[in-house]
Amino acid sequence: MATPGYEAARRMIASLTREEQLRLLGEIASQQVSEPGSPASVMDLCGLGREIWKDMDAQQYVSRERASWNG
C-alpha cells in the first residue's frame, strides 16, 4: 500500500508537463544511493545542471564573459 507522501508526490508529478516528468525521471535515475557514513565523491556532480548549458555555444559564452570584464 502506498504512503500518503507517495500518493501526493504521484499527483504532483502527474501535473507536470511531459518534458518536466522526463527531466525528473532522469534526475531520479541518476541519483546514487550511498552507504551512510561513506564519503561523497565529486563525481556525483557529473552532469549536474547540463540543461542550463544545452543550447549555449561555449566560445560565445567565454567571449561575452571576457567582454564584461572591461566594463
Angle (nearest 5°) at CA 15 between 10 and 17: 115
Residues, the chain, total? 71
Q: What is the pLDDT, as a whole number, of residue 32?
A: 63
pLDDT band at residue 33 under the 50/70/90 scheme: low
* Closest C-alpha to 23, from 48, 1, 4: 48
**Whole-angstrom distance, CA of residue 9 vs CA of residue 12:** 5
By three-state DSSP, how is residue 69 classified? helix
Condensed to tens digits (0 to 9), the pLDDT of residues 7-30 reads: 999 999 999 999 999 888 888 877
Condensed to tens digits (0 to 9), the pLDDT of residues 39-70 reads: 677 887 888 888 888 888 989 999 989 989 97
Q: Is the pLDDT of residue 71 over 70?
A: no
